[in-house]
Structure formats: structure tokens, C-alpha cells
Structure 1
Amino acid sequence: MSNQTLNILDFSQGSIRTLHLTWFAFFLSFVLWFNMAPLGPLLMDSFNLTDDQWKALAVLNLALTIPARIVIGILVDQFGPRRVFSTLLITAGLVTLVFALAQTFQQLAILRFLMGFVGAGFVIGIRMVGEWFPARQVGLAEGIYGGWGNFGSAAAAFTLPTIALLFGGDEGWRYAVALTGVIAILYGLLFYRLARDTPKGSTYFKPKRAGGLEVSTRADLLFYMLMNIPMYLVLGVLAWKLSPADIGLLSQTLTLSLYGVLVVMFVVQFWQIMKVNQDMLRDGTPEHDRYRFKQVAILGWAYFATFGSELAVVSMLPIFFYQTFEGVSLAMAGMLGGAFAFMNLVARPSGGWFSDRFGRRKTLTITIFGLAIGYFVLATVDSQWLLALAVLAVMSCSFFVQAGEGAVFAMVPLIKRRMTGQIAGLTGAYGNVGAVTFGTFYLFVDASAFFLFIGLCALVVLVLVQFLDEPRGHMTETLPDGTVQMIEVS
């Protein structure tokens, strides 16, 4: 391979084989995570679900993903992506099989809540791809991994209803869901057999202690603590959505209990982070081993604006098209809304490629600015627009959103190698924080104000991105014998 090219068809290269193995594992994890949504009408008929019960299942599907991305990041750094991805796929496949056998709404709710952890699969591949590709190619490789894998949600929407109809009858949805579980289990076994954590002869660096990010200064420790607060607030919002104040799945007593659990979880995490960083607090961090936590924080907020807005917008676009443009059927509205997610195939790799070639902060600046303008344009779309122009505006905005996602994770593997999983977990969790934030805001406003709000948030993130440090030179890790190894980042 040359310094700038990446031949994705050259299977003689171990890195290319690993990339394909890994993006497909991520693809399957997203098929599992989103295998319920396209089968919604069939499930609602089968269980006589109310609209509120269906909304509750949708909320439960997201609830566990935020803490799961943090936990999975810790596990990946400690045990390696090969073991963790295999275990995730097999476990999620088994839960999916049980979901296909569910007989009551309560069983559906519990199993959908448990399925939220499969949404953390994305974090695993970030570390694996980062191990196999040099800095000059890692952005494009991560973009292909994220973009092609993320297409699993669209693939589920396009194929599962047809599969359910092929099986036929009231139970067709069960066979369609079960099929995805069986495929995931088989691929999890195959992934364990074929994948490797690192190229031959390379060291897989692990954190000194598990349980939280190691930071370099006391100021960074405080910054890290503050960055955890929005995640717990969003989990509180999800609990509120299930409470009598909104959907009503939970009683007031259980809702208050959940709030208490979240407080306890935060205290436990605070204690764990202090424990992980006790050496730094006592002795400081060697100069060669330092990194700036602001890099992680800014990338997290950038993912808040990019992936967070994508999740929120994809869920409302079909009804937006249906209500805005006369003559658009529900089926057509669904297809038009799907255009936003479809751009993942090319946009996310493009963001990674531009990052590798022209600079990571510059690319992130351009994409965040572009998506802000895109959302401001969408805020003006109404029934007076030509439908074709509205679709063009959606796809243009979508390109910048997903290219921005690619630009974020073009930089994540270049901060601190031994903690790439945890950095990816925290960054990815902020995408879900954004989704819940924007989705909750949409409950109280119309579509125009919704798009305008996302655009304004993106402008704030645009300012933050200017404080990113462009990766240059090398980062360091220490081998078991005490030798300091230099890892190229530019």
C-alpha cells in the first residue's frame, strides 16, 4: 500500500481482511439493534400494543447503550476486541432468539432493554481497526468500518419486513428476528476464529488499571468527572420518558428508585475513576506519557452534534415528509426519510479520507460548519418547496453529518493507544446523549424549530473544535520490559 491509498479488495493484506471482518461484525450488531423497528406494525398487531407501549419499547432499546459503551470500552482495552466482539455477537444473538419467542409485552420490554447493549458494538471495532492501520490511513479505514457497519440499520429496514412476509402468517416477524440472531451467533464464532487483535509481532497495550480513563493532570481529572454528568442526566431523561409523566410504563415509585440508582452509579464511578488515577494524583504523570483530555471532550461534543443529530433526525424524517408534502404516501415517506441514513455508505469514509489527507481539525471544522448550514436550510423547508429539492437538501445535510462522524473517529485512535476503547466509548456515548437531547427537544417544538436548534448547537461545537490539537509526531506507550515505544500519529 502507498502512503495515501487503501485497496479494499487486496485480501492478501491482513489489515484489509481484518477491516472486512470487523465492519461486518458491526453491521450485524446494528441489524440486531434495529431489527424491531421495521417490524413494528406486525409486533403491534401480534401483541395488541398501544402507541405508548410501542414508544416505551423504542426508549428501552436506547436506554442501556450509553452505559454499555463505557463498559464495553473498558472491556475492549482490557481483553482485546477479538474476544469482546465475539462475545457480544453471540450473547446478543441469544437474546434476540429469546425476543423472537416472547409472549407478553413485559417480556418484550425486558428483552428490548437488554438488547440496548448491542449498540455498543461500534466501540470495539474502533480499537481493532486502529491497531491494524497506520495514522496516514486510519481515518479512511475507520470511516469504512463505521459507514458500512452503520448501514446495518438500513439493511434491517429494507429486508426484514420482506423476510417476515416470506415466512408468512402472524408469526412471520418471529422467524425474521430469529434469523438475525442465528446469523449473529454463527458470525461471532467465525470472528473469534479468524480475527486477531493486532498484526503479528505488535504489542496490544492495556491500561494500567481497569475501570476508567487514566488522565494526565488534576485539571483533566475534574474535566473528566464533569463530562460524565450529561450521560447520567440523559439516563434520567429516559427514566422520565417511561414514568407516569410521559409514557407511563413505570410507576412513580419505580421511577424515583431509578433516579436513586443513577445517583449511586455516579458515586461508584467517581470512586472508581479516583482509584484508577491514584498514581497520577500521588506522583504525577511522566511527560512522555501525557495526553490532553480536552481532545476526548471536544470529540465527544462533536459526536453529540453529528451522530446524535443523525439518530434524532432519522426517527422523525418519515413523518416530516408525510405531513409536509401532499400526496406523499407513508411508504414513500419512509423511503425518503431513509435517504438520510443511506449516505453513510460514502459520507463517513469520505470524512475519514479527507482527515487523513488534509488534516483532522480542518476536516472536522468544515463538516461541522456544513451540517450547521444544512440544518438551517432544513428549518426553512415547507409545503411550498419542490419535493425533489427537499430531498436534495436532506441528503446534502446528511453528507456533512456523516462525514463529520468519520472525521471524529479518524482522530479517536490517535490520542492514547492503550485507552482507545474507552475513548471511543465515551465519544460514542455522547452520540446517544445528543440523540436523546434532540429527540426530547422535538417533543415540545415543530420541525422547523427542531432543525434550527440542532444547527445552533452545531455552531457551538464548531467553536469548540477550534481548540483541538492536530495530532503530530508520535504518542508513546510502555512495553512490559519498560521500553518506551513510539507510535506514529501523523
Structure 2
Amino acid sequence: MSSQAFNLFSFSGKMKVMHLSWMAFFITFMVWFNAAPLMSVIAASLGLTHSQIKTLLILNVALTIPARVIIGMLTDRYGPRKVYSLLLGLCAIPCFMFALGTSFEQLALARFLLGFIGAGFVVGIRMVSEWFPAKELGVAEGVYAGWGNFGSAAAAFTLPAVALAFGGDDGWRYAVGLTGAISLVFAFIYYANVTDTPKGATYFKPKKAGALEVTSKKDLLLLVVMKLPMYATLALLAWKLSPSGVALLSDNTEKGIYLLLTVILAADLLQTFNVNKAVFNGSIPEFERYEFKQVAVLNVLYFTTFGSELAVVSMLPLYFAETFELGMTQAGMVASSYAFMNLMSRPGGGWLSDRFGRKSTLLILTAGLALGYLGVAQIDSSWALPLAIIMVMLCSFFVQSGEGAVFAAVPLIKRRLTGQIAGMTGAYGNVGAVFFLTVYSMVATQTFFYVIAASALFGFLTLFLLTEPKGHIAEVNEDGEVTLISVS
């Protein structure tokens, strides 16, 4: 762990690693969301229908849930330097595929594969946790996540201008292709300029690969329960693509996907059991144990925080346009105030967590989140527009500060499993987004905000099960030596 002072304006040592990591995350989100601001132009260029556009947006997120879990495992096993660099390089390929696509089927395949780059976030969580002590970890993870997450907004602001600069029907192709080129180049920059740990530190790897390790029988049962919503969400996405949804898939293909998900779930549970056989014979030393309930609580909180952010960012421009009779351009600029808060709110949530404790900070921010969405639910055309913007930005502060506080706690549970824990927690953010957007498609907008507020209240109650990280994490290296890592 580096003893260097925390200085945002430094670009050496641990600060260099943090800055390069948020840049990598920024690029992954820019690539992941590069089509959204260009979709109307893409549709006009290739004659896509409204249903096909919706399908591309669904496919863009379909692979991210399992990808975050898989990338978390690979990160813990092979290290963030190799995994982040490889992810940036390989995901440039489907980005170029999309830029060169001439049919809906080609675009659909490229968008589906690009869902994998949405897992890049997980890699940096482990990388940053290796370089920063517990007292600085919240703000460091907050800067990484908050600044990196702004890549989606940067894509929205800059790519239309790039497309216009190239001009013509193919302007969007150059804009999308440019993001792929940036990703490919940065893969080499990242690999050449970071290391997994500071010099002399040990990178602890999982003892077994293929599933998250737990340390008790009740934790194994809870892990199985927490896996089920992720598979249910993938089934829901398949249903959205079925004849009952946007009709991209045939009835037989839909049933085939359900069968495949069932088989994968069975194999996943079997592998989980095999990896965790030790919990049945009591052979896990006390100093190596951790409580999986810590992970479950953080999953629930990220379901509400990041899940609601993704959902609200998707619907807010239309909501403002309809409520205040704004043009779509003006409504988009107003709604961007919600996402813009990420630059300060996530680092702010992490800083509060470092200073006042993980649990107490999460309790306050989650309560504020629930009240914030209750407030947003009251907005109607009788409100002054500036007041509505302030209400949305206040709510956004609690949402994104809560995200920062969640990932201030994630790396303090079990060091050698940080990638997998971050992957599962991150996946729950996408599960929340799919759930909330499905609710939005079925109920009135006010009810949609009430549902998010109710989920925040549930998260608030689960927080009383969270144990404040304190003392040390014990990890054992390959030579059997025990290392104590401070978490307070």
C-alpha cells in the first residue's frame, strides 16, 4: 500500500494509477453508450424501425450482468492490469463491427457483444483498492467511479458533433469508430503504465476459481438466493425480445434461451457448491472467515442507487419535455443535470464514508435517497422549472453519493475476492435498472418514483444488518504467510 499523500493534481505513484484507471473506465462507458446520442441518425441511415431501435438499446445492456460477474472473477485471478487492458483492446472489435454494420442483424450482434465492456468498472475497483489505504479508499474509489462514469455523458455531448464534423450519412460511423480506436490505443497505454500492486506488495488471489468463496453454510445459502435475481433479469430481457416484446426472437428461440439459462444456473450452483465444500467440514480457519451478508446488503443498495440512476437517466428527458412542454434538446440539457452530479457526488459519498464511517454514511444517504425520490414524485407542471431542477439534482446527490459509499465498503470485505464482490454488486445495479425500467413501462411516472423510494426504504432497513468494517482482513499468500490488511 502506497504511503504517498492523496493529491488529485499529482500524476505519480498511486495517483497515476487512479487517474489512468478512471480514464480507462471513462473510455469503456463512452464506447458502451456511443450509439445512444446517434441513434436517430443511425436509424435514418439504415432505415431502422422504432422496434429495432428499442431492441438495440436492450441488447446493449443484456450481456453486462453476467459480464460483470465473469470479469470480477478474471480480475481476482489474473490481476486488473491484464484484464482491463485486454477488455479495452478486445471490445474495440465489436465497436468497429457496429461502425461498419450495414444491416440490423449486424448492428444487433455488435451491440450485444459490446455489453461486455460495461463490466470494465469492476476491474478498477480492485486496482484502486490495492493502491490506497482504508482511510483514503472511499474518496479514491469515488473519484474513479464518478469521473469514469461521466464517459456516457461525454459521449452524448461530443459524438454528435464528431458525426457532424465528418458529415454525410456515414458521419455516425466515424464517431463510433473513433471511440473504438481510442479504446484500442488506451489498452496499450494502460498496460504499459500500471502495476497490480505497489512495489513489494502481494497480490492475493482466490484459492479456487469458478465461483465466489464463502465461509459458512448459511452464507452459501444466501449466495444461492442472491444469484437468482440476476438469472431472472436475464430471462426478463429475453421476454422483452420475444414476440410478446419487440419480436426480435421467435417463440422457439425464447424458450431455448429460458432452457439455456436454467442449464447455466444449474451448472453455476454446482460449481458454487464444489468451490465451497469446505463449509460443510468446518475446515476454514476463523481468521479467514467473512460474512456474506455484507455483500448481500451492498447488492441491495446498489440495486436501488445505480439501478435507479440508469433508469431515471433513460426517462428523464422525455419526462421534462412532457411535464414542462420543453423541446427535446432543451429537455435533454435540463435532464443532464442528474448525470452531471456524478463528478462530485460519488467522490463526496466516498469522502463522507472515509470520514464518518461506512454504515452511518450509508444510513444517512439511503434515507436521503428515499426522501429525494418522494420529492421528485411530487413534481408536476405547477412547479417552477428551476425548482424542479433543484429537486432532481438534490435527489441525484443522494443517489450518486450512495453509490460512492457502497463502493467505499466493497473493497473492505475480503481483499482476494474484491473483484468478484464488486462484480456481483455492479451486476445488481444493472438488475435494478432492468427492474425499474420494466416498472416504468407498466405504471404512471409518479408511481415509478414511489417504487424506487420504496426500494430505498427496504435498502435502509437491510443496512441494520451491515457490520461496520474494522480491524484487519487476514489474507494468506502462496507460501502460507498471513498478512493483515487494515480496513479502518
TM-score (norm 2): 0.99
Displacement of 1:282 = 3.0
In 2, the alpha carbon distance for the partners of 1:270 and 1:126 equals: 26
Distance in structure 1 (CA, Å) of the matches to 2:19 and 2:107: 33
Contact kept in structure 2, 1:66 and 1:432, CA below 8 Å: yes
Work out whether residues 132 and 198 of structure 1, in 8 Å CA contact, stay in contact via their aligned partners in 2.
Answer: yes
Written as runs of structure 1 = structure 2, the 5 A alignment for 1:80-95 is 80-95=79-94
* Number of the residue aligned with 2:396: 398
Determine if the alignment matches structure 1 residue 290 to structure 2 residue 299. no
Q: After the TM superposition, which of the residue ranges 330-339 and 77-86 deviates more from structure 2?
A: 330-339
Aligned to 2:434: 436
Query: Corresponding residue for 1:163?
Result: 162
Give the Cα separation in 1 of the matches to 2:299 and 2:229: 11
TM-superposition CA deviations, 1:240-274 (whole Å, max 9, x none): 10011111111111001101111011001001111
Report the CA distance between 1:336 and its aligned residue.
1.2
Mapping for residues 67-466 of structure 1, pairs under 5 Å = 67-326=66-325, 328-466=326-464
| CA distance in 2 between partners of 1:26 and 1:152 (Å) | 8
SS at match of 2:468: coil
* Whole-Å separation in 1 of the counterparts to 2:399 and 2:133: 25
Superposition RMSD on alpha carbons, in Å?
1.3
Residues 1:33 and 2:32 are matched in the alignment = yes
Q: Distance in 2 between matches of 1:133 and 1:267?
A: 38
- Cα distance in 1 for partners of 2:292, 2:282 equals 18
Letter in 2 for 1:314: V
Secondary structure at the counterpart of residue 183 of structure 2: helix
Partner secondary structure for residue 485 of structure 1: strand
What per-residue deviation string (whole Å, max 9, x for no partner) do you get for residues 287-340 of structure 1? 0000000000000000001000000000000000000012x1110111111111
Which residue identity is paired with 1:376? L
Aligned residue pairs total: 488
Q: Tell me by how many angstroms 1:5 deviates.
A: 6.7
CA contact (8 A) 2:97 2:106 kept: no
Distance 2:181 2:382 in 1: 48
Note the residue ranges of structure 2 that are not aligned, 5 or more in a row: none
- For 1:11, the equivalent position in structure 2 comes to 11
Q: In structure 2, give the amino acid aligned to 1:450.
A: F
Report the residue type matching 1:120 in the other structure.
A
- Provide the C-alpha distance between the structure 1 equivalents of 2:163 and 2:232, rounded to a whole number of angstroms: 38
**Residue 211 of structure 1 contacts residue 276 of structure 1 at CA under 8 Å; is this kept in 2?**
yes
Match in the other structure for 1:469:
467
Note if contact 2:2-2:133 (Cα within 8 Å) is conserved in structure 1. Answer: no
Letter in 1 for 2:456: A
Q: Is the 8 A contact 1:4 1:136 kept in 2?
A: no
Kept in 2, the 8 Å contact 1:4–1:137? The answer is no
Question: Which residue identity is paired with 2:487?
Answer: V
Moved over 4 A (4+): 1-5
Q: Any conservation in 1 of the 2:2–2:198 contact (CA below 8 Å)? A: no
Displacement of 1:281: 2.5
How far the C-alpha of 1:467 sits from its partner, in A, is 1.3
Q: CA deviation at 1:373?
A: 0.5
TM-score under structure 1 normalisation?
0.98
- Identity across matched positions, percent: 56
* CA displacement, residues 379-420 of structure 1 (integer Å, 9 cap, x when unaligned): 111110001111111110001000000000000000000000
Provide the secondary structure at the position in 2 that maps to 1:445: coil
How far residue 3 of structure 1 moved from its aligned partner, in angstroms, is 9.2
Q: Distance in 2 between matches of 1:11 and 1:65?
A: 31
Task: Supply the distance in 1 between the matched residues of 2:268 and 2:280 (Cα, whole angstroms).
Answer: 17
* SS, match of residue 466 in structure 1: helix
Contact 2:359–2:467 (CA under 8 A) maintained in structure 1: yes
Counterparts of 1:11 and 1:23 in 2: how far apart (Å)?
Answer: 13
The aligned residue for residue 489 of structure 1 is 487
